[in-house]
Amino acid sequence: MRKILYFLLIVFCIVGISLVNNERVHAAAPSATVKITTIETEVFDETFKQKVITLSKATPVIIISEADGWAKIQYKTVVGYIPSEYLKSATPQYMLVQAKEEPLVLVTNKHESEIKGKLHLNTIVEVYGSATADFVFVKYGRLAGFVNKQVLVKPVSKAMIVKSSADLVVREIASSSSTEIGVLRKNSPVKMLTNLKGWAFVTTDKLSGYVLTNGLVTPPVEKEKPVKVNPKPATDKKIALTFDDGPHPKVTRQILKTLEKYDAKATFFVVGQEVKEHPEILKAVYNAGHEIGNHTFNHEKLTTLSPEEIKQQIQSTDTLIKSTIGQRATVFRPPYGSYDETITDQLNVPNVLWTIDTLDWKHRDPEKTVLAVKERAKDGSIILMHDIHQATADALDEVLAPLQKQGYEFVTVSELLGK
């Protein structure tokens, strides 16, 4: 009997040690809080004397608990203590999960690391800290760890409002059984970043989380009567330079420098899929004082599409522009200049064509572009060019110099048309 008692005691000790060690590695699993280190700091063991690891500034860590000025944290597989004053709450960047299959959340930023869980496709996750070569630290509800940064894209926001019938509960993740983190009042404006199987991730200045999609509606828009044809241009020594199909990471920047040299303003009719790839270029164009026009999402010939497809081409681009620069496009140009009443009836801004087509997209020859403008430019001209071809950027200096000497002012389309 005594031998049996000794045996059970030994087993109990072994199990207890195993649980303690396991707790040290995985204790942070129930946590839903992430903070950022404010300085380079040492992490101590439970005696608060022996250093376990040193963390650099701006490292995201999972908070297990905080008491008496110390925070118990987990970083990768390490659990330890650092002074609470060395941590701060951080505003996360919201990113959309897009991949061929559900991406893995790992304990460390190594491909062979232990798996903590998976992220559902099209969910919004919180991103903290800077990306490493391949990984970034994310949190989704109570799941936090490292994922391959290639599976995350910047979401496109859509303006919505809470229905007037009832307040809307905001939850931590897309599940009716998840933690309630707040309530959105009736008619509250929100930005929707994803729509996932009846759940939408929304954000406001004070609250972000998942709500039931059927509790949201699109805000009413006062529709203005569209301009179905181009008004007669003004004729007071003004010319409108327009650039289609961008933004382009190299060509557009070169064009901006040349425009600045001549104190010229222009209108850029941008394509949605290019804005999605190069939002920083669109911001540079807008910040330089140029006008932004809508040129559809992927340059489809609109007269070959259904009314619903036309609406999607126009509205998705408009939404993407607004989420990037803070305002919607002020003019519209149909790809290939092809439009009809079905198209213009969906517009809330002027439909703008051109008076001079340089054909730069066809010949890709700077001299021919210069010649086309030289032979036909006059007061009120609207010149069509494309900021995706290097030859166009190379021609621009010789296009502008002689026109400026003749006393022309280079303005946006809206200014030319007196809007």
Confidence at 365, pLDDT banded by 50, 70, 90: very high
In the block, tokens 């303003």 appear at: 265
For residues 264-282, average pLDDT: 97
Task: Tell me what pLDDT residue 38 has.
Answer: 94
Q: Decide if 244 is catalytic.
A: yes
The answer to whether 335 and 300 are in contact (CB under 8 A) is yes
Residue 42 tokens read as: 């040492």
How many other β-carbons are positioned within 10 Å of the β-carbon of residue 22? Answer: 10
The answer to whether 417 and 233 are in contact (CB under 8 A) is yes
Task: Tell me what pLDDT residue 309 has.
Answer: 94
For residues 194-201, average pLDDT: 92
223-260: pLDDT as tens digits: 555 544 454 444 468 999 999 999 999 999 999 999 99
For residues 280-291, average pLDDT: 96
Comparing 7 with 339, the larger pLDDT belongs to 339
Smallest CA-to-CA distance from 292 within 329, 246, 241 is with 329
Of 248, 278, 295, 386, the catalytic one is 386
Terminal-to-terminal C-alpha distance of the chain: 98
Smallest CA-to-CA distance from 394 within 250, 254, 215, 240 is with 254
How many Å apart are CA 237 and CA 381, to the nearest integer?
Answer: 9
How many Å apart are CA 186 and CA 164, to the nearest integer?
Answer: 5
Smallest CA-to-CA distance from 295 within 365, 388, 393 is with 388
Q: List Cα–Cα distances, 345 to 228, 350, 352, in angstroms.
A: 8, 11, 14
Confidence at 129, pLDDT banded by 50, 70, 90: confident
How many other β-carbons are positioned within 10 Å of the β-carbon of residue 11? Answer: 10
For residues 96-115, average pLDDT: 94
The answer to whether 393 and 254 are in contact (CB under 8 A) is yes
- pTM comes to 0.47
In the block, tokens 């259904």 appear at: 306
Smallest CA-to-CA distance from 213 within 197, 224, 228, 225 is with 197
How many Å apart are CA 129 and CA 138, to the nearest integer?
Answer: 9
In the block, tokens 């999402």 appear at: 297
Smallest CA-to-CA distance from 193 within 184, 185, 183, 201 is with 201
Question: 3-state DSSP call for residue 380?
Answer: coil
Residue 293 tokens read as: 């026009």
Percent helix, strand and coil across the chain, each to the nearest 5: 30, 30, 40
CA 114 from centroid of its chain's CA atoms: 30
Confidence at 32, pLDDT banded by 50, 70, 90: low
Average pLDDT, rounded, for the chain: 88
Confidence at 45, pLDDT banded by 50, 70, 90: very high
324-358: pLDDT as tens digits: 999 999 999 999 999 999 999 999 999 999 999 99
Q: Decide if 386 is catalytic.
A: yes
Percent of the chain with pLDDT over 70: 88
Task: Tell me what pLDDT residue 236 has.
Answer: 65
Comparing 29 with 174, the larger pLDDT belongs to 174
Could you write out the three-class secondary structure of 203-253?
A: ECCCCEEEEEHHHEECCCCCCCCCCCCCCCCCCCCEEEEEEECCCCCCHHH
Of 244, 360, 387, 394, the catalytic one is 244
Q: Does position 13 have pLDDT exceeding 60, yes or no?
A: no
How many other β-carbons are positioned within 10 Å of the β-carbon of residue 380? Answer: 17
The residue count for the chain: 419
How many Å apart are CA 94 and CA 79, to the nearest integer?
Answer: 27
291-310: pLDDT as tens digits: 999 999 999 999 999 999 99
- Could you tell me the sign of the dihedral formed by the alpha carbons of 20, 25, 27, 30, in that order? negative
CA angle 390, 394, 283 (to 5 degrees): 65
Q: Does position 20 have pLDDT exceeding 60, yes or no?
A: no
